[in-house]
Structure 1
């Protein structure tokens, strides 16, 4: 029996009550993203408090992220089936309850298992934010809703360092998990009050894409585990990594074939024939890589070269995060002006990110926080200037009944790409650091720097540690090794900024070729229709 296609969602007037419901979904989605990043940053404190080993603790992050991305694939389908309001309230409550229970788990296995369950609940929340923005906001406000969704990629991740430092240093490591409780309670009250209640559509289970759910979620989860555990287990030299990769790739191919032919799929792949949507997905993946130049690289420098703790370099991340509350609405207002081409806004945003990367390439081991302020300011403006035009371009070719398909694809690409971007940058920094370290050591050996340093130190009669004023060979070598390590890291960070400039250049080229011009949603004449190719 064939299930009738979903009817167009009922139109609801945009009232204060509905606006409060949308704010509730925004709070829930931001809290979900913060929980992931805060836990990652505070992992050392969690290990110390729970007695979990280093190897076990790595699975706390990996398992959560694998479950999170898998949930992003299927959440829009279940939201349509059970109703948006009912489903969002359920996953928000589940996310909060697992957060309460996590610090109370007595064994590492139970802790990791509950973390997987929390990942499923947490991953289901960001797709709901995009879905409600596309469905409920009137055309003049739609870009502001997409700006709220963009905050999950710009505001949340850059607030995580400060929150992690506050809970672990000033309160208790347990609040790394319990911090979600007040935010989720507020979100649930607003969602329950503000969002309208749609009817159940249980008949959709007659054509449930169960095979696609099993193959797609399994493939995506295994790929995430490969990315997050690969460096620790030495990639394909590990039988576990090789086995997961060889299982994930065929499963993903089978999933894509199934989605193309299934009458009620998770991903409507035929929509990728629309150039603007394809560009949006590719550009979103690239932007998530480029945006790491404003967060991951400065953090690596301060942690390893300056020896700063999280609380000491967290203000730099706030320079990007906090201004988003003003910059994102400003960019949305500019994009609502008809004569502003969002492709030019995207190009200008990439220009800001490239400029910040060019400044970062000048890094030396003498840099302090003051050297990063301009880089962070450029990132604060550049990130929303890129992400909002991407969302505007992509969603302009999505009809309202297709919103759940677009939400599933966008959020899955976003979740996977953010993890892949972090893995790529970490791997590149590590291997370039090894390369520069070898070069520096070889140059030092060729020029007899060690001998010169030893003779110079023995001539110094003012050293307080030894009676004759000399410095031990061990001290010499230790200082030399530290100098080499710091200099190698600085050079590798400079190389990484250059790599990210290359990604930005590719995005500029892609934007110049692929997408078509789109106009603001409230414009009466829409040159690009939902079925444009």
Structure 2
């Protein structure tokens, strides 16, 4: 009896420690993951739909083209900046709490934007919504890496790949639906009901971690003060560069030059920071570095194959988003089947995901090579063959990259990997848009001058020839679109060349037979 009395009682863990225990995978985790996926898709669609509906939004809110360009620029800058810093904040305030707050703010600001009384308030609302929107994609990768068992982790990565393949291709059809049949306000309001559903799924499905406010004792203030303005100025400079004449504009020179200087200082600071936003030492891993470089190139190609046909059909054939929509739906909807099939293929141990990647890049390159045969008589139907190659080409180019980058990664490295991947993803979309605009301007001027010179001694050049200037302009646009396709075909082919030399083979965790 005395020995029993003397025996100390077991010490129970405090509630915070108990809450931090890893949750077993089950229905609740799956529902929470689907909620985060829905929120991330809404974030991507919000940006794509507002871009495609910008002409109608400007007409409805009585703002000019330059002001509309700033709406796109500030949203993109805030979104990419949030992608860089949100993984740190989620680890501090907890994944569930931070995700719910981001979704709630994102939906509320979408509701308010059509009622903005003036341009300044609309710019402020777009900036704040961009921060909330950019905070969401890193949460999806964090949830997939943390909660999914090894045997199905590839399928979680396929869900993340939806944000690069399914979402962007769905933007134009939805823009056509709202602007043609409902009202331009729904370009902002479309996110509200799905966001509420996503909040319900996240609230019920994801476990609540404890607050870790002690991390603020090691907060990287210098990194924030250097990195935030660096990313914002670079994104704004790239977004507005073509409109302002690139380096002919003093503002663009300051934005890009100052942004690059701040970015170098930011990266130098992150190298020695004990708790950084970006762990530069991770770039020593060949597979991760290759995946980031290739992802950057792939996303440029994927952005281009949306912009080129949409721009061609709008400028040459006079298509509205509603008429271009079926072309994008041909790629978007099959992704719901193609992504799981590609994930299942990569989850087979005998399959080397590097060659899946090479096949996907080859399909993208072939599609763009076929696009170089573009002529002024092409209509929507002529693009269908090109789009069919993207149904499997896009997921086969993205899922293997996610596998190569995350294979063998520890849970502690998950937030850093999420910050790297999502920031590169956001920057790639901005660089792609700026690069395509710059190439379009340069090649259009070149072809216009060449066509005018070739007609210099021709009787067709008589000023009385009806519609000659218009025909020259149209032909210059057609030749420019063909040039852009050629550049994208060469870029995809160049990415294939890296595969035999840089990445090492990895095997899927606990792969199926």
> Quick check: TM above 0.5?
yes
After superposing the two structures, state which structure 1 stretch, 182-191 or 512-521, moved more: 512-521
Q: Is this contact kept in 2: 1:9–1:401, CA < 8 A?
A: no
After superposing the two structures, state which structure 1 stretch, 359-368 or 19-28, moved more: 359-368
The Cα offsets for residues 219-271 of structure 1, whole Å up to 9 and x where unpaired, read as 01100010011111111221211122222111111100110000000000000
Aligned position for 2:485: 497
Q: Is this contact kept in 2: 1:274–1:397, CA < 8 A?
A: no
Aligned position for 1:468: none
Q: Give the unaligned 5+ runs of structure 1.
A: 1-5, 455-472, 525-533
Alpha carbons of structure 1 residues 245 and 163: separation in structure 2 relative to 1, 3 Å: same
Q: Is this contact kept in 1: 2:362–2:493, CA < 8 A?
A: no
Q: Give the unaligned 5+ runs of structure 2.
A: 1-16
Matches within 5 A, 1:116-155: 116-155=127-166
Aligned position for 1:508: 496
Matches within 5 A, 1:309-458: 309-451=320-462
Aligned position for 2:470: 482
Alpha carbons of structure 1 residues 10 and 518: separation in structure 2 relative to 1, 3 Å: farther
Please state how far the C-alpha of 1:9 moved relative to its aligned partner: 7.0
Question: Aligned equivalents of 2:223 and 2:387: distance in 1?
Answer: 42
Alpha carbons of structure 1 residues 415 and 8: separation in structure 2 relative to 1, 3 Å: farther
Aligned position for 1:3: none
Aligned position for 1:292: 303
Q: Is this contact kept in 2: 1:140–1:522, CA < 8 A?
A: yes
Q: State the aligned residue count.
A: 496
Question: Aligned equivalents of 1:10 and 1:496: distance in 2?
Answer: 51
Question: Aligned equivalents of 1:293 and 1:419: distance in 2?
Answer: 11
Question: Aligned equivalents of 1:432 and 1:42: distance in 2?
Answer: 26
Q: Is this contact kept in 2: 1:345–1:386, CA < 8 A?
A: yes
Match of residue 277, structure 1, among 257, 269, 288: 288
Aligned position for 2:39: 28
Matches within 5 A, 1:92-241: 92-241=103-252
- Runs of at least 4 residues off by over 6 Å: 6-9
- Residue 245 of structure 2 corresponds to residue 257 of structure 1: no
Secondary structure of the 2:421 match is helix
Question: Aligned equivalents of 2:64 and 2:156: distance in 1?
Answer: 42
Q: Is this contact kept in 2: 1:9–1:400, CA < 8 A?
A: no
The Cα offsets for residues 464-515 of structure 1, whole Å up to 9 and x where unpaired, read as xxxxxxxxx3xx34x1112111111111111111111221122111222110
The Cα offsets for residues 181-234 of structure 1, whole Å up to 9 and x where unpaired, read as 101000000000000111110100000112111211110110001001111111
After superposing the two structures, state which structure 1 stretch, 313-322 or 241-250, moved more: 241-250
Aligned position for 1:72: 83
Please state how far the C-alpha of 1:172 moved relative to its aligned partner: 1.3
Question: Aligned equivalents of 1:366 and 1:53: distance in 2?
Answer: 32
RMSD over aligned Cα atoms? 1.6
Question: Aligned equivalents of 2:164 and 2:20: distance in 1?
Answer: 27
Question: Aligned equivalents of 1:298 and 1:78: distance in 2?
Answer: 39
Please state how far the C-alpha of 1:290 moved relative to its aligned partner: 1.6
Q: Is this contact kept in 1: 2:242–2:437, CA < 8 A?
A: no
The Cα offsets for residues 115-138 of structure 1, whole Å up to 9 and x where unpaired, read as 000000000000000110101100
Aligned position for 2:51: 40
- Residue 315 of structure 2 corresponds to residue 304 of structure 1: yes
Aligned position for 1:12: 23
Alpha carbons of structure 1 residues 294 and 170: separation in structure 2 relative to 1, 3 Å: same
Match of residue 51, structure 1, among 62, 80, 95: 62
- Residue 255 of structure 2 corresponds to residue 267 of structure 1: no
Please state how far the C-alpha of 1:7 moved relative to its aligned partner: 13
Secondary structure of the 1:241 match is helix
Secondary structure of the 1:498 match is helix
Alpha carbons of structure 1 residues 275 and 7: separation in structure 2 relative to 1, 3 Å: farther
The Cα offsets for residues 505-530 of structure 1, whole Å up to 9 and x where unpaired, read as 22111222110000012249xxxxxx
Q: Is this contact kept in 1: 2:448–2:476, CA < 8 A?
A: yes
Secondary structure of the 1:265 match is coil
Please state how far the C-alpha of 1:300 moved relative to its aligned partner: 1.3
